[in-house]
Amino acid sequence: MKFCSSCGAPVTHEIPDGDNRHRHICGSCDEIHYKNPNVVVGVIAEWQGKIILCRRAIEPRIGYWTMPAGYLEINESTDEGAAREAEEEAGIDVEIGDLLTLINIPQIGQVQMIYQGTLRSPDFEAGIESLEVKLVTEDEIPWDDLAFPTVKISLEHYYASRRAGEFSLHTQVLRR
């Protein structure tokens, strides 16, 4: 960051009084610009024993498979964001259930929250960020072509919870 997003003046990079980390500080309006992690929300949506997967039409990892997920927007709850992403990427209407995985990825500044959900109907279609969308069984999941490690972790936990007969929250920190 070179310029203040509030007033346009140049910023410096220093530790503010009473803080312990370097921040971008505007010398003109005294605004301190904090850089915080992004929250990614998504859902593993089921219909009659199958789940929805989307093949990515955007980078990173174009052409690889994932569950519907994306960045949380201002003024929405995490479950609202997961439902919105499901509609945008897969054209699905999903009832959001319990939080299934909470995965912290400190080195890229992300917290990923993936829910369990149930489709309200079997209707789906590829959104602008998806090349293809399909309902698959566990055996049909393209495990070697999943977009991110967090997708694999979430799917493995989903199926383990399903086999156990109850969904539980799985938390993890992924580090390089």
Can you list the domains of the chain with their CATH numbers?
A: 1-35 (2.20.70.10), 38-173 (3.90.79.10)
Q: State the pairing for strand pair 69-71/94-105.
A: unpaired
CA distance 152 to 168: 17
- What pLDDT shows up at residue 176? 87
- What pLDDT shows up at residue 60? 97
DSSP-based three-state secondary structure for 117: strand
- Tell me the whole-structure pTM to 2 decimals: 0.93
Q: What is the mean pLDDT of the chain?
A: 97
Going by C-beta distance under 8 Å and a sequence separation of 6 or more, which residues neighbour residue 168?
161
Instruction: Quick: pLDDT tens for 82-129.
Output: 999 999 999 999 999 999 999 999 999 999 999 999 999 999 999 999
Q: State the pairing for strand pair 110-119/38-47.
A: parallel
Report the sign of the C-alpha dihedral through residues 54, 57, 61, 63, in that order.
positive
Residue 18 contacts residue 39 (beta carbons within 8 Å): no
- What pLDDT shows up at residue 151? 98
Instruction: Quick: pLDDT tens for 28-81.
Output: 999 999 999 999 999 999 999 999 999 999 999 999 999 999 999 999 999 999
